[in-house]
Structure 1
């Protein structure tokens, strides 16, 4: 079997980049899920959990920032796809909007936006864990 020329082969993404994106996306998803659990608990009467919801929002935002850095590493040095970077940017923007809505107690847009954030987090995390072709994460 003849292998294609080296110029047409895509370089393999270093494992540390793959694992950093997997770890940050997975932890981000876990904190997003935690947000839903905490919110569900405080709307049923556990009002003290509002402070935990706020703290977890900060952790979630930090994790999506780290995911963004990992997505940059996947794209630039590793020559991976650029779309995870754009999804991470979108997630960061949506999380900041979500935080502002929460601080203003605007629950009507806050809850549907949470569903969008959760969906994006699930999608990104699932993508990082499934086997990728051509050396992508």
Structure 2
């Protein structure tokens, strides 16, 4: 359950980054918002890695969510580096990729966790 919440927060944080990027283009204070959002996103992604490890270790679940979280951490780190370097030609598409991957991971984790927790009425398994 905690892992689903963290991935939802991650997806929202990536979406907010897209919004603050637009604000940055139209407002002199948008850069500070976008910068604060990047720090927030980085912290949420680190918490995502921790949550994935905690979901795997005591419960004996699959290790795949850990690898996905670590991959996302690597991509976010690259995004921060490219953004600080001012390479918008890579920064913008990478941001779109991050949002798409986060939504995909959210849908997958929501579907698999929900399927295990709630049986189908009538007694048949999904």
Aligned to 2:6: 24
Question: How far apart in 2 are the matches of 1:53 and 1:80?
Answer: 36
Aligned to 2:47: 66
Unaligned runs of 5+ in 2: 118-126
Q: CA RMSD in A?
A: 1.7
Aligned to 2:84: 103
Unaligned runs of 5+ in 1: 1-18
Q: 1:108-127, aligned counterparts within 5 Å?
A: 108-127=89-108
> TM-score with structure 1 length normalisation?
0.78
Task: State the structure with more CA Rg.
Answer: 1
Q: 1:1-137, aligned counterparts within 5 Å?
A: 19-43=1-25, 45-130=26-111, 131-133=114-116
Aligned to 1:12: none
| Cα-to-partner distance string for 1:16-68 (whole Å, 9 max, x where unaligned) | xxx2101111111111000001112222x223111110111011010011111
Query: How many residue pairs end up in the alignment?
Result: 116
Offset of residue 128 of structure 1: 2.5
> TM-score with structure 2 length normalisation?
0.85
Question: How far apart in 2 are the matches of 1:100 and 1:55?
Answer: 15
| Cα-to-partner distance string for 1:60-115 (whole Å, 9 max, x where unaligned) | 01001111111111222111121111110011011111001111111000011111
Structure with a larger share of its residues in helix: 2
Question: How far apart in 1 are the matches of 2:28 and 2:82?
Answer: 18
